[in-house]
Amino acid sequence: MKNDTITAIEGIRVGHARLDGIPTGCTVILPDGGAVAGVDIRGGAPGTFGTDTLNPLNLVEKVNGLFFSGGSAFGLSAADGVRRYLKDSNIGFDTGHGMVPIVAGAIIFDLAVNKTGVYPGADLAFEACRNASSEPVEEGSAGSGLGATVGKLFGFERCMKGGVGSSILHGAAGLEVGALMVVNAFGDIVDPDTGMKVAGARKSRESCELVETVPALMKMISFTGGFPGSESTVIGAIATNALLNKVQLTKVAQMTHDGLARTVYPVHTQYDGDAIFALSCGTLKGVEVSLIGALAVIAASEAILRAVRKAQGVEGIPAVSGVGTMKSCPHPKGSAKFLPAESRRIKP
């Protein structure tokens, strides 16, 4: 099978792990030999780990592992599992007194889906590292995307299922730009090629018809979803086989947020913790950094769309993949249909 995900880039491995019977999980990215990295955070409610290391002013050049985890702040303990795995493999920053693995990552808030009180932690992240491979990335309801949801304009009870998605673009002279995105957005998901809404807030908890976002916003002075349970985010990573430094990768991460702006509306709200990492995993020289950033926008957009289109619904939360049947949607007739496409177009 052709690999059309981020692991098509040589040296990138991705692994997922989940807790049995619990809708949450962890995803890791392990770049062979480490990768020079940058990060850009735009959301108003970020949950991140190790991002200061990626500041271009700071000493360490490479990260050895990235993690994305459910569990809100509890999921930040996944860093310990990634670090333990890397230490056991003697991978890290050479201090002269032993290897210290450099780990960074981010979390999503999925506690409204996972109400068990059991969260991803170090052991689950260690398992995700053991599962990491260069095979095509499992997408949709996998790893950190298991408890992800989108479309929380009117609160959690009217949302739809999110997930994890990945993509790869092949440019000139062998250039590769890949993306992995965990989509747990407050806003709705829109296909930028058609302007049509793919998933989002529903008219009611019993309906699977989608709300027209802009007219709804025009009638609000505050988001009716409010707290708690609407904490959201899109987190993810861009990887390229181009040789870039930390300053250039920070720019790529900044530009990648345009991919979120193309596909998520509203985006970068106070409820979101949107954070994008960028990794240089190759030796291809002479590629303009702004070109890589422009391709990263497309790769991120595609990964976001794939995340929601490949997700599976859970009890009371329908998924795009269930259109026509949507057995998980609490629809009074046992099935559900979306509004006609023309009424789902986002209009200025």
Closest CA to 233 of 42, 29, 83: 42
Distance CA 55, CA 121 (A): 26
Q: What's the pTM value of the predicted model, to 2 decimals?
A: 0.91
Q: What are phi and psi of 199, to 5 degrees?
A: -155, 155
Query: Domain spans of the chain?
Result: 6-147+164-186+231-313
> So what's the pLDDT on residue 64?
98
Cβ atoms of 183 and 148 closer than 8 Å: yes
Distance CA 13, CA 50 (A): 20
Distance CA 98, CA 87 (A): 9
Cis status of the peptide bond prior to 348, with omega within 30 of 0: no
> So what's the pLDDT on residue 155?
85
> So what's the pLDDT on residue 224?
61
Distance CA 270, CA 256 (A): 19
Quick one: CATH architecture of 6-147+164-186+231-313? 4-Layer Sandwich (3.60)
pLDDT averaged per 10 residues in sequence order, the chain, 348 residues: 95 96 96 97 92 92 97 96 97 93 97 94 98 98 97 90 98 97 96 94 88 86 58 93 98 98 93 94 96 98 98 91 54 36 34
